[in-house]
Amino acid sequence: MTYRTASLCDFPPETNKTSVAFAQNFTVECLRSDGHSSHKIASNHETILVVPEAAITLVSSEGSIDIPKRSLVIIPDGQYDIVFLTAGRTFALTTGRIKLEQSSTFEQDGSGPAQLDPRVKPIGKPFPKSESADGGIRVYSVDDIPHPSGNPRLKFLQTSTMSINWVEYHGPRDRTKLSPHSHEYFEQGSLAITGDFIHHIRTPWGPNADRWRDDQHITAPSDSLLVIPPELTHTTEGVGNGHSVLVDVFAPPRKDFISKGWMHNAADYIDPSDNVVAADSNGHKA
């Protein structure tokens, strides 16, 4: 078995431009502005907008809506204009990005791995909406999303084809309480929003010692995306005394998090594999 390595993409710092990085099942697009420009995005699946510090107006054929900073926004499929009202960044996460003809877009790493990794779980059938779900644009204040009991660092949100973990804390992460783990079927994206991080990566040993690899300790600043293939043991450490925000990205949605009642908006979707409405973040069913 030859393991793929984790790959780090740094989003270019140029203002008023966009850049996109690819995993096998999803894309992460970084949109920047000095507060006086707009960008277009389009997808044939729902998109999650991560709006850390820049107030924006989201414009579609249906109208417009103002989005405050520190928001997570789920938008239906289609094309949108993102008008920046203040300087900053917005990140667009989706499994169905449509490439638009924009000279300001810089694409990194082509369109994913050079060869499809058969270990990566396919997206499959999107989760349909529950009867009680709002079919339009949904805006969530990060500060209003509950965290799982006993773990204030984490918050969870999903769309019909992907899910994210919002990870936030102050000061360096406790090095005696890291969480090394691996995913058998998932490719994980770790999007550094604020702060500096070290991604610790360990490749499993197989019977052929000539293929063993040393552990990696990858320094990652904010505005970067680490794509972690299946089976690699990994954990991320926020370093320094400042503020840390990291968003972990998965596609399809993480059913294990849904079953634990951690996914804040899980009641908006029905698992297509069992036709059961998932529990919300309080453990209730729709």
Homologous superfamily assigned to 147-277: Jelly Rolls (2.60.120.10)
Predicted confidence at residue 131, as pLDDT, reads 92
AA letter at 275: N
Query: Confidence class of residue 280 from pLDDT cuts 50, 70 and 90?
Result: very low
- Rounded Cα distance, 130 and 151, in Å: 28
- Rounded Cα distance, 23 and 26, in Å: 5
Non-local (6+) Cβ contacts of 240 within 8 A are 171, 172, 195, 196
- Rounded Cα distance, 261 and 252, in Å: 17
Per-residue 3-state assignment (H helix, E strand, C coil) for the chain? CCCCCCEEEECCCCCCCEEEEECCCCEEEEEEECCCCEEEEEECCCEEEEECCCCEEEEECCEEEEECCCEEEEECCEEEEEEECCCEEEEEEECCECCCCCCCEEEECCCCCCCCCCCCCCCCCCCCECCCCCCCCEEEEHHHCCCCCCCCCEEEEECCCCEEEEEEEECCCCCCCCCCECCCCCCEEEEEEECEEEEEEECCCCCCHHHCCCCEEEEECCCEEEEECCCCEEEEEEECCCEEEEEEEECCCCHHHHHCCCCCCHHHEEECCCCEECECCCCCEC
Q: Give the mean pLDDT of 82-111.
A: 83
Predicted confidence at residue 184, as pLDDT, reads 95
Predicted confidence at residue 2, as pLDDT, reads 74
pTM of this structure: 0.92
Residue that is written with structure tokens 């500060």 in the block: 143
Predicted confidence at residue 274, as pLDDT, reads 65
Joined tokens for residue 33: 């502005």
Predicted confidence at residue 281, as pLDDT, reads 42
Q: Give the mean pLDDT of 91-104.
A: 85
User: What are the tens digits of pLDDT across the range 156-187?
Assistant: 999 999 999 999 999 999 999 999 999 999 99
Q: Say if residue 110's pLDDT is above 80.
A: no
Greatest C-alpha distance within the chain: 60
Mean pLDDT of the chain: 92
Class of residue 255 by CB neighbours under 10 A (exposed 0-12, middle 13-18, buried 19+): middle
Predicted confidence at residue 109, as pLDDT, reads 52
Residues composing the chain: 286
